[in-house]
Amino acid sequence: GQNIDQPTEMTATEGAIVQINCTYQTSGFNGLFWYQQHAGEAPTFLSYNVLDGLEEKGRFSSFLSRSKGYSYLLLKELQMKDSASYLCAVTDSNYQLIWGAGTKLIIKP
Amino acid sequence: ETGVTQTPRHLVMGMTNKKSLKCEQHLGHNAMYWYKQSAKKPLELMFVYSLEERVENNSVPSRFSPECPNSSHLFLHLHTLQPEDSALYLCASSQDQGSGANVLTFGAGSRLTVL
């Protein structure tokens, strides 16, 4: 079966750096997404990786290794507003989106 | 208004009620989706419409009935639901459907409670 694994919950301190990991086993691969979802709000698109390597966007970076079936989202200079759930999703060979259950990130002062 | 708008934001219904969820997008997108989001579970795709035609129905019980009258509007009609159907129902849209870099724009969701 197809599966996306990510930690259920993580805690980090304001100003610090946190890395949220995502591993996947899917039938084929056509890209990996990260979405952010604040409580009670819509998920919003953060990043898309289809080639190996690191994509940087301001304080957020996303890394992909297709050979390892692995990605991470790196958040730097954490702010209280970064407290949210982070959803990892992979597009399989049929262009179906397979979702992880999300990682709830708690930022403490 | 811009983006994807869902109404109502909150809905409480009995198991014998009939209600509808509404979704509207003003992005000019060609594809629209219904997802179910339950606590600590992955998003579950329910229905996909592309150019107003249903292209996917992921074995969803018939008590959920979608309707897409045009490319901007999507409804989810609810009838004789069960308590386990209580969840957040998310609507999303994308420019097209069936590509790798298909970015979804989500609405804020309708929180449904079935008593």
* Residue B101 binned pLDDT confidence (cut-offs 50, 70, 90): confident
CB-nearest to B40 from A8, A33, A41 is: A8
CB contact under 8 A, B105 and A45: yes
Dihedral sign (CA A9, A95, B77, B52): positive
> Which residue does chain A place closest to B99, by CA atoms?
A95
Average pLDDT, chain A: 96
pLDDT tens-digit map of B46-75: 999 998 888 877 789 999 999 999 999 999
Which SS3 state, helix, strand or coil, does residue A80 take? Answer: helix
pLDDT of residue B1: 52
* Contact residues on chain A for B4, CB-CB shorter than 8 A: 42
Examine the pLDDT at A21 and tell me if it is beyond 80: yes
Strands A70-75 vs A60-65: parallel, antiparallel or unpaired: antiparallel
From the list A43, A45, A101, which residue is nearest B41 (CB)?
A101
Q: What is the predicted pLDDT for the residue at B70?
A: 93
pLDDT of residue B2: 64
Residue A82 has pLDDT above 90, yes or no: yes
Is a pLDDT exceeding 80 seen at residue A92?
yes
> At a CB cut-off of 8 Å and minimum separation 6, what does A108 contact?
A11, A12, A13, A14
Tell me whether B41 touches chain A (CB under 8 Å).
yes
Which residues, in sequence order, are bridge partners of residue A69? Answer: none
State the average pLDDT over residues A52-76. Answer: 97
Cβ proximity of A86 and A73 under 8 Å: yes
Mean pLDDT of chain B: 93
**Min CA distance, A78 vs chain B (Å)?**
24
